[in-house]
Amino acid sequence: MYANQDEVRHLIDLMPASGRMYTKIIPKPKQSRLIDAPFPLPWQRGARPIYINFDLWTELSRAERDLALLRSVCWLTEIKWFKPDLYQGVVTVGVIGTGVEMLQGDAIGVIVGASLAVLAGSQIWRRTRSIQTEVDADEIAIRVAQRRGYEMIDAAQALLDSIEKIAEIEGRANFDFTELVRIQNLRKLAGRSEVGVPEEVRKQ
């Protein structure tokens, strides 16, 4: 089944305003993954794509589709490479300082400035790829779903079910570590477990 325009319109209407501005749904019937949102790199311009294999999409329930889509949107929009904070400030200072020192011919200054920029950049990269970011995206998606009429427990259960169903549809026998942490946290939110995400894992 190729992308149903009514379904695409529904998914776009479901998105928060930031999702409609910064992401774009792209049908990709040949991909093996049911839904795929590639990690956005800082130099990439334009809307961040969400690729959906609509041939497989209807194997999910309505609620599972809604939460899977919202989760991808929230994950993408939460990755902000250029927002004012400590690490972005250090990167900016390091880059500017490197440029100034290069113009002045100061080799040591160039090394120091470049090292600051690289160090701060690596911290931004680590943070945006962390398990905490993945868990936060789930929880933000659930809050958005609540604004669209879902109960919190139902939204958490639907997102949990979507993770498990997508793995089954894609023929994956096992979950990766990040998925296991997400499942554990979603079970807690859905009232199915008293065990939350360990603090040391959330800080990774």
pLDDT at 44 (0 to 100):
78
- Same structural domain, 44 and 145: yes
pLDDT, residue 129, reads 61
Q: Output the pTM of the full model.
A: 0.75
> Do 98 and 150 lie in a common domain?
no
Pair (13, 73) in one structural domain: yes
Is residue 185 scored above 70 in pLDDT? yes
91 and 149 both lie in a single domain: no
Q: Look at residue 94 and tell me whether its pLDDT is greater than 50.
A: no
Does residue 99 sit in the same domain as residue 150?
no
Q: Which of 56, 53, 60, 11 is nearest to 28 (CA)?
A: 53
Indicate the SS3 state at residue 36: strand
* Whole-number pLDDT of residue 36: 97
Residues 123 and 46 in one domain: no
Q: Are residues 74 and 102 in the same domain?
A: no
CA distance 43 to 108: 28
DSSP state of 40: P
Residues 32 and 58 in one domain: yes
Regarding whether 196 and 158 lie in a shared domain, the answer is yes
Nearest residue to 73 via CA among 131, 126, 25, 132 = 25
In this prediction, residue 171 carries a pLDDT of: 94
pLDDT (tens digit, 9 = 90+) per residue, 153-174? Answer: 999 999 999 999 999 999 998 9
Q: Cα separation of 101 and 60, whole Å? A: 57
- Shared domain for 76 and 145, answered yes or no, is yes
Task: Give the count of domains, the chain.
Answer: 2
**Domain of residue 163, residue span:** 5-80+129-202
